[in-house]
């Protein structure tokens, strides 16, 4: 089974289309979306519709819930608050209902999905500090947890009591380890690389592959 895993689309329709075109070329079977479908970009409704059309298993991001007022946006940056206000004013009722109904976490038989951290996910913290990763690893009853939110790809690995990060973007899963995989951002990368970021996970060979793709900026 091949999974296409996307996060932080942020209303960027052009980037989303390019990512899904690559996923189609790679014969992806199912899609997972780690939240923040909306915010900042000008096409929130179109992006929501596409995520629905591909049947993605989806969790809520902070922008998704802030747009529907399910999350208090007072801690957002000024730009973030402006994005929430604009998106709320342009969102369809159908889109509003979809975002408002998204769960904070989701589990399949093989992995866990969350936007920020598995530890206190409702606080939407960044999972990018090795020292704090054990809080989430201790809650994992699956080998894999896919996250987003930071807009920068990162793989955290736990073996026994050791936690470390990997700079590899193509990684074979080891049976004795647990993994927290940040797939990066489709629509607004923040790691110094403007290319859209996403992940393809092939369960048949146990391979994580974080990809980058150009889109019309």
CA distance linking residue 79 with residue 77, whole number of Å: 5
Which residues 6+ apart lie within 8 Å of 158 measured at CB?
Answer: 133, 134, 137, 177, 178, 179
d(CA 208, CA 53): 24
Mean pLDDT of all residues in 152-177: 95
Q: pTM for this structure? A: 0.97
CA dist., res. 215 & res. 5, Å (int): 17
Q: Is the per-residue pLDDT at 167 higher than 90?
A: no
Summarised one tens digit per residue, pLDDT across range 46-104 is: 999 999 999 999 999 999 999 999 999 999 999 999 999 999 999 999 999 999 999 99
* Beta carbons of 141 and 98 less than 8 angstroms apart: no
| pLDDT for the residue 4 | 99
Q: Does residue 203 surpass a pLDDT of 90? A: yes
Neighbours of 212 (CB within 10 A): 17
Residue 18: pLDDT over 90: yes
Q: What is the pLDDT of residues 105-122, one digit of tens each?
A: 999 999 999 999 999 999
pLDDT the model gives residue 208 = 98
User: Of all residues in the chain, what percent are helix, strand and coil, respectively (each to 5)?
Assistant: 30, 25, 45
pLDDT of 111 reads 96
pLDDT exceeds cutoff 90 at 178: yes
Tokens describing residue 2: 């091949």
Say if residue 157's pLDDT is above 90: yes
Within 8 A by CB and 6+ apart from 209, the residues are 169, 170, 199, 200, 201, 202
Contacts of 195 by beta carbon, 8 Å cutoff, 6+ apart: 189, 212, 213, 214, 215
Report the pLDDT value the prediction gives residue 217, as an integer from 0 to 100. 82
pLDDT computed for residue 161 by the predictor: 83
Class of the domain covering 2-213: alpha beta
Contact 5/201 with Cβ under 8 angstroms?
yes
Q: What is the mean pLDDT of residues 184-188?
A: 98
pLDDT, average across residues 116-138: 95
Would you state the pLDDT for residue 193?
A: 97
């Amino acid at each position: 089974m091949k999974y296409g895993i996307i996060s932080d689309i942020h209303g960027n329709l052009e980037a989303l289309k390019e990512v899904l075109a690559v996923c189609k070329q790679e014969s992806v079977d199912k899609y997972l979306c780690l939240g923040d479908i909306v915010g900042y970009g000008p096409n929130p409704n179109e992006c929501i519709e596409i995520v629905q059309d591909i049947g993605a298993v989806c969790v809520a991001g902070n922008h998704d819930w802030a747009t529907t007022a399910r999350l208090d946006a007072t801690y957002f940056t000024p730009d973030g608050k402006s994005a929430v206000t604009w998106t709320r004013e342009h969102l369809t009722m159908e889109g509003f209902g979809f975002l408002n109904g998204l769960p904070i976490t989701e589990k399949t038989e093989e992995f866990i999905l969350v936007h920020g951290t598995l530890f206190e996910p409702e606080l939407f913290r960044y999972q990018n500090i090795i020292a704090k990763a054990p809080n989430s690893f201790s809650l994992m009853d699956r080998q894999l947890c896919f996250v987003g939110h930071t807009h920068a790809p990162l793989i955290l690995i736990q073996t026994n009591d050791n936690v470390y990060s990997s700079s590899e973007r193509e990684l074979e899963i080891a049976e004795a380890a647990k993994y927290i995989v940040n797939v990066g951002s489709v629509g607004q990368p923040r790691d110094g690389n403007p290319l859209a970021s996403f992940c393809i996970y092939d369960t048949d060979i146990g391979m994580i592959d974080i990809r980058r793709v150009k889109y019309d900026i």
